Structure 1
Amino acid sequence: MIARELMSPADIERLTARSDLRALWLVLCQWVLTLAILAMVAIWPNPVTVVLAVLLLGGRQLGFGVLVHECGHRSLFRSPLLNDLVADWLLAPPTFNDRVAYMRGHVGHHRLAGTAEDPDLPNYQDYPISRARLRRKLARDLTGKTGFRTLAGIVSAWRRYPTLAPERQAALRRGLGIQIVLLAGMTLAGAPWLYLVWIAAFVFTNPLMSRLRQIAEHAAVPDRLDPDPRRNTRTVMGGAIARLLVCPHRINYHLEHHLLPSVPIYRLRAMHALLQANGSYRDVPPFTGYRALFRAVANAG
C-alpha cells in the first residue's frame, strides 16, 4: 500500500482514529443545514429564496451521499454497526440511496482505480473535453434530464419491488418512510409545497453538483491508468461556497481518500497537510480552486 511508504505507522494510526463525537457532529450539521434551508423558504417564500434553496439543497443532498460513502467505508464512527445504522436510517433514505448496493460497486472503484477495469472510468475517461461538450453535459443536469432519469429509476424499482433483493426492498421502504416524514413535517408547518422544493433540488441541482464533484476527483488527471493515486486522483481546494455546493464535508480531499480509504473524512485535511509537508506531493499538480480545475478539464471550443 503506497500510503505506508509515504507516512509513518504512528501517523497512520493517528489519522485513522475514529471519533464518534466528530461523526455525530457531521450528521447533525448535515440535517440542521438541510432543515434550515427549508425553513428559510417557508419563512420568506419568494422566487429568490426558492432558487437559492434549490441550489443549496442540491449540495445538501450530495452531503447525504458523502456521509453514506463514509459509513460504507466504516470510517465515520468507531463501530461498524453504528456506521451501518446511521447510514441506513438517517443518511441514505433522504435521496433513496442504498448503502449496500452503492458500496458493492464502490469497492471495485477503489480496487481498480488506475486501471482500464475501473467501473467508474466511463464517467471521466473522455476528459479533457471541449467547453461546448462540457456545457451540454451541465445543461442536461440543470434542465432535469439527468434527474428525471434518476426519478424514473426509483419509480421502476418500486414497480419491480416483489422481484428485488430484500436489502434493496428495505432501502426503498426506508426511502419512502423519510419522504413521508419530510412531507408530514412540512404539512404540519403549514407549507406542504416545500416538498416540491426538495424534489426540484433532487432533479435539477443535485445531479449537477454530483457531476462537478466527480469531474474534480478523476477527470483529466495526469495519468488515469497509473496505479499511483497521485497520478489518477485529484484533490481540489475549495472555499466556503464550494463546500456548500460541490464538496460538502470536505470530500474534496479525494486524493488522500484514495491513498488510505480508512482515514475518516474529518482527518483528511490533516493528512493532506502532512503529505505536503513531507514532500509526498512534490510532483502533484496543485489545484487551488474549481475555476482552475475547469480550465484544465475543458479545452477551448
Structure 2
Amino acid sequence: MPTVKAARPTEIFARDDWVRLTHVSPSRGLWLTLHGWLTTAVVLAGTALLWDWHWLAGLVAFPFAIAIVGGRQLGLSILMHEGAHGLLHPNRKVNNFAGQWLTGAATGSDLHSYRAYHLTHHRYTQQPEDPDLALSKPFPTTPESMKRKVFRDLTGQTFLKQRSGQMVAAWLGLKAMLRGSPSTEGKGKRDTSAGTALNRGGAAGVSAPVTDLDGAIRTTKTVGRFLLIQLIVLVASLLTFGIIPFLIWTIALATTFQLFLRIRNIAEHACTTTGSEDPFTHARTTYANLWERTTVAPYWVNYHSEHHLFMGVPCYNLPKAHALLLAEGMDKRMTIASGYRDVLKQVTRPAAA
C-alpha cells in the first residue's frame, strides 16, 4: 500500500503564515512542560491541604483531583508526542531530553521507540499498514462494549494489564543486561516494537510485543525511568504533605489517565474514512470546552486533523492553522466534531436486532 498523500501547505497558506505556523519556540514547549507539572503539584498540594483541614472537604475534592491530575498526565504524554516530532524545542538535544525525561518518563513511554513507531502511523494513516489501526478499527461499537471499556479503565484493569506486560519485558531485558548479553542494535534492522506497550495513539495504549533482545533492554530502561519518576513523586509527597498527593498521582495514573487516553484515541480516528486518498479525511478535529481541555484534550491535541495534515506545526500553533483552514473553506473536506460527547455518540451504536 502506498503512503498517504500529504497536504501541500503552499497551496493553502501564504508563505509568511506557513513560516509562523512552523516556528518552534525555544520557550513555549518547555513552558508547557512546566505548566503540566506545576498544575499537577498545585492540585495535589491543594487536595492534601483540604484533607488536613477537614476530611470531608478532602473527600469531596478527591475525585476532581484524580480527574485533573489524570488530564495532566495525559498532557505530559502529549508533550512527549511533541518531542517525538521535534517540536518541544529547536535544539534536538534539549528536545529529546524534555521528551524523554521531563514528559515521557512520567507515564512510562520511551521517546525514541515511540518516534519510529509513530512516524509509521503518520506515513500510513488509516491504511492497512497503520500500526494504530487497531485503535480505530473496532468502532463503531455497542454501548455495552463501551461501558465495559470504561469500567476496565476506571477500575485499573487496563493499567495492570499494560504494566504487567511491560514489567515482564523489562525483567527479560534486565536479566540480559546482568548477563552482559551483547546488543545487536545498529547491526541490523532496529526493532521499534519494544517500549511501545504504552505508546500507541500518542502515548499509551495496546501492548506491543518485544521481538528481540534490544527491545527488551530498551523496555528495561523505559521502566527504570518510569520507576525513578514515581520515586521522586513519592519522596516529594512524603517530605511535604504526606502520602495523599502520591496516592492521588498513582490512582490517576491507573484510572483517569487510562480513560482519558482511550477517549482521546477514539476521537482522533474512529469512524473516519479508512483507505482514503484525501489527506483531509484521515483524522478528526474535535472542538473542546474548558473541562475537556482539562481532561481528554490537553495542549490542543483535539486539533488532530491539522496535526496530520501538517505534522511540523507545534501544538500551540494548531488553533491558528485551524482558523486559516476555515478561512479557506477547507472545513468542508475535514471531519470536525462539536465535542467529545458528540464523538462518543457517533462511535457507539446499539447492536442490530
TM > 0.5: yes
Equivalent in the alignment of 1:99: 111
Equivalent in the alignment of 1:63: 75
Aligned partner of 1:177 among 228, 233, 255? 228
Aligned partner of 2:281 among 188, 206, 231? 231
**Aligned positions of 1:1-301 closer than 5 A:** 1-4=6-9, 5-45=11-51, 46-160=58-172, 161-163=174-176, 165=214, 167-221=218-272, 223-301=273-351
Provide TM-score, normalisation by structure 2. Answer: 0.81
Q: 2: distance between equivalents of 1:69 and 1:92?
A: 8
Residue identity matched to 1:105: Y
Which consecutive unaligned segments of at least 5 residues does structure 2 have?
1-5, 52-57, 177-212
- 2:150 counterpart SS class: helix
- Cα deviation for residue 156 of structure 1 reads 1.9
- Range 20-29 or range 57-66, more displaced: 20-29
Q: 1: distance between equivalents of 2:89 and 2:29?
A: 6
- Contact 1:256–1:272 (8 Å) recurs in 2: yes
Residue identity matched to 2:310: L
CA distances 1:74-101 after superposition (whole Å, capped 9, x unpaired): 0121111111011122111211211111
- Contact 1:218–1:224 (8 Å) recurs in 2: no
Q: Which structure has greater helix proportion? A: 1
CA distances 1:231-282 after superposition (whole Å, capped 9, x unpaired): 1200000011001100100100000000011100010000000001011222
- Range 255-264 or range 161-170, more displaced: 161-170
CA distances 1:26-73 after superposition (whole Å, capped 9, x unpaired): 111111111111112211122222222212111111111000000110
- 1:286 counterpart SS class: strand
Cα 1:205–1:81, aligned 2, differ >3 Å: closer, same or farther?
Answer: same
Residue identity matched to 2:7: I
CA distances 1:170-196 after superposition (whole Å, capped 9, x unpaired): 333322222111111111114124322
- Range 105-114 or range 275-284, more displaced: 275-284
CA distances 1:125-174 after superposition (whole Å, capped 9, x unpaired): 12122222222222221122111112213432442223364544433332
- Contact 2:281–2:335 (8 Å) recurs in 1: no
- 1:113 counterpart SS class: coil
Residue identity matched to 1:248: P
Q: 2: distance between equivalents of 1:212 and 1:241?
A: 14
- Range 152-161 or range 62-71, more displaced: 152-161
The number of residues matched between the two structures is 300
Q: 2: distance between equivalents of 1:247 and 1:193?
A: 26
Q: 1: distance between equivalents of 2:149 and 2:37?
A: 30
Identity of aligned residues (%): 34
- Cα deviation for residue 300 of structure 1 reads 3.3
- Cα deviation for residue 116 of structure 1 reads 1.4
Residue identity matched to 1:52: F
Moved over 4 A (4+): none
Provide TM-score, normalisation by structure 1. Answer: 0.94
Which consecutive unaligned segments of at least 5 residues does structure 1 have?
none
- 1:281 counterpart SS class: helix
Cα 1:47–1:3, aligned 2, differ >3 Å: closer, same or farther?
Answer: farther
- Contact 1:114–1:229 (8 Å) recurs in 2: no
- Contact 1:100–1:167 (8 Å) recurs in 2: no
Q: 1: distance between equivalents of 2:239 and 2:159?
A: 28
RMSD of aligned C-alpha atoms?
Answer: 1.7
- Range 149-158 or range 83-92, more displaced: 149-158
Cα 1:65–1:179, aligned 2, differ >3 Å: closer, same or farther?
Answer: same
